[in-house]
Structure 1
Amino acid sequence: MVARPRSTYDDLALPSGRDGWVATYRWTGKPYRRHRHDELELNLAVSGTAVYELDQRRYDLGPGSLIWLFPGQDHQLVSASADCTLWIAVFRSACVRRCAVGPEDQVLLQADPPGHHCRRLASDDARDLTHHLRAVRSVQHDAAALNLGLAFLVRAAWLMFRRAPVQAVADALHPAVAAAVRLIAERPERGGDELAARVGLSRTALSRLFHRELGETIVAYRQRLRVEAFLDQPEGKPEGDLMKAALAAGFGSYAQFHRSVRRVTGVSPREWRAGHRLGHAVPR
């Protein structure tokens, strides 16, 4: 079996009686780790540009881009411009089932449907959807209003998506980059020379291509996988042996471990163990 990059299950811990939430996201410079969750998710790009990696395919988002992320899909926002702003909405499966009333809507109920589910909306639709998202966010303090709004939102967004033109927005990763990703997942300690030899490129050519396709260097990508290995370790006490955790995750030194964890999560390993978590934050 070919190894795939590590993925983390995100429990969004939606409050009881609420069918989802709506929030805005602004790029912080720190990529989310690859993850998935039980809820259907949509992202609408408002400004700037962003790059999603989804099952070794690259999706480039610009203003008006609407992407659907399904429960069975590992996804990751790997890079974005400094001015990137996204609307994010998530929906419980029960809410989606109530709104998927026709045969053409059944794709919304699938865990990992075939095809590419990212399109650029017409400008009027993008403006209207932004208005709907803002309206739903404004009533999140009231569960009944929120749930009614989410049902309207998922239905309206799907209708807008279906009438948007199909675009070639999903680009398969270059075969050499996809092979490098698989090789790093199998054995993160592989050096640059070995990776280059295995994929049939020079080290310089592979480095440039990898950065262009995924928005980060091979070294940064490898370190992020190690950080994710640390984040996925069973939770321990803040005063637990972090050096052992670093070695178990594949780091060669504590200094390297500390720098990498802070770069990915924004906090130190000890602060992470004390209660910080990376992923979607449920709006209150």
Structure 2
Amino acid sequence: MSVGAIGITRFEMERGQQFRRHVHDEHQLAWVSRGVLMVEVDDRYWVLPPSLALWIPAGTWHATIAVHEAVMEGVYVEPAAADRWAEPTVVAMAPLARELLAYLGGALGAAERGRAERVLLDVLEPVDGATIDLPMPRDDRARAVAQLVLGDPAGHASLDVLGREVGASARTLLRIFVAETGMTFAQWRAHARLQGAVAMLASGEPVSRVATRVGYTTSSAFVAAFRRVTGRTPGAYFAPQS
């Protein structure tokens, strides 16, 4: 790998601040050392706490938004140096990876930098199902239903009721959600609720209050749903990876 193949830029972002849809010639590792980041690629959304990052291959159009006040570390990797994954991939940000990024941010000689860059790329490991991935349907009617759910995550309106608002039957919408998101509507709504919950949890709101605000009757039901989707409890989701 060539020396200086990894560049790092720090962005301090206010809540709601975003980088609109853009593309890089380099691979990017999108990571926040503080806060919560949402990344959108082709109508798929990932919500990332500091314990996780998203590998974005070179040439991939994407947008980023700070769900909560955040410090985003833009890590850019020359394609000639590494082609780890051809698709957007969630990776764990273990303590060693974070320390290596801090080390690479300093003044280093060519040999030291080259060694650190190789190790950093070696220690990045994908984490299946660890983040809240929310694909958006493309069909206008289903997308309108999705926006209604996102606007009212605590709502319990049936798909029949939502369908009447957008001019489509529940059966049609069910078929579209499965075909275009890979999820049933119930699964998609659960992911949408949990995605909304992440920003509240990042702000320090207690689990009991967040559970109610996103439509769960008990904290235990919310925690169980969170664990089913991410494989972790809400507390562990924000904890540094070991």
* 3-state SS, counterpart of residue 96 of structure 1: coil
Match of 1:85 among 35, 49, 71: 71
After superposition, residues 39-54 of structure 1 pair within 5 angstroms as 39-54=26-41
| Residue 178 of structure 1: how far off its partner (Å) | 7.9
For 2:4 and 2:142, the matched residues in 1 are separated by: 39
Unaligned segments of structure 1, at least 5 residues: 1-15, 98-106, 181-198, 202-211, 216-284
Whichever residue aligns with residue 167 of structure 1, its letter is: A
Q: 1:130 aligns to what?
A: 98
Q: Which whole-Å deviations, capped at 9, do the CAs of 1:180-223 have from their partners, x for residues lacking one?
A: 7xxxxxxxxxxxxxxxxxx927xxxxxxxxxx9x99xxxxxxxx
From 60, 64, 70, give the equivalent of 2:51: 64
Using the alignment, how far apart are the partners of 2:113 and 2:129 within structure 1?
31
Match of 2:116 among 149, 158, 171: 149
Offset of residue 154 of structure 1: 1.5
- Give, in angstroms, the shift of residue 64 of structure 1: 0.4
Q: Secondary structure at the match of 2:105?
A: helix
Q: Which residue of 2 is the match for residue 184 of structure 1?
A: none
Number of residue-to-residue matches in the alignment? 153
Whether contact under 8 Å (2:37, 2:64) holds in the other structure is yes
| 8 Å contact from structure 1 (residues 139, 145) kept in 2 | no
8 Å CA contact retained: 2:18, 2:63: yes
Question: Where does residue 173 of structure 2 map in the other structure?
Answer: none
What is the deviation of 1:179?
5.0
Q: RMSD between aligned alpha carbons?
A: 3.8
Structure 1 SS opposite 2:118? helix
For 1:200, the equivalent position in structure 2 comes to 166
| TM-superposed deviation, 1:52 | 1.0
Whole-angstrom distance in 2 between the partners of 1:47 and 1:55: 25
Q: CA shift at 1:174, angstroms?
A: 5.0
With over 3 angstroms needed to count, the CA separation of the structure-2 counterparts of 1:174 and 1:40, relative to structure 1, is same
Aligned-partner residue type, residue 8 of structure 2 = V
Contact 1:35 1:75 in 2 (8 A): yes
Alignment partner of 1:118 out of 68, 74, 90? 90
CA distance in 2, matches of 1:149, 1:91: 13
Alignment of 1:176-191 (within 5 A): 176=140
**SS at the partner of 2:59?**
coil
The TM-score normalised by the length of structure 1 is 0.44
Paired AA for residue 43 in structure 2: Q
> Is structure 2 residue 136 aligned with structure 1 residue 173?
yes
Bigger share in strand: 2
Q: d(CA) in 2 for partners of 1:23 and 1:17?
A: 17
SS in 2 for 1:71: coil
Asked if the contact 1:56/1:178 (under 8 Å) is kept, the reply is no
Distance 1:178 1:40, change over 3 A: farther
Amino acid at match of 2:13: W
1:128 aligned counterpart, secondary structure: helix
Deviation at 1:118, TM superposition (A): 1.7
How far the C-alpha of 1:42 sits from its partner, in A, is 0.7
1:68 counterpart SS class: strand
Deviation at 1:143, TM superposition (A): 4.2
CA contact (8 A) 2:38 2:47 kept: yes
Structure 1's 177 and 20: CA in aligned 2 closer, same or farther, altered over 3 A? farther
Verify the 8 A CA contact 1:27 1:80 in the aligned structure 2: no
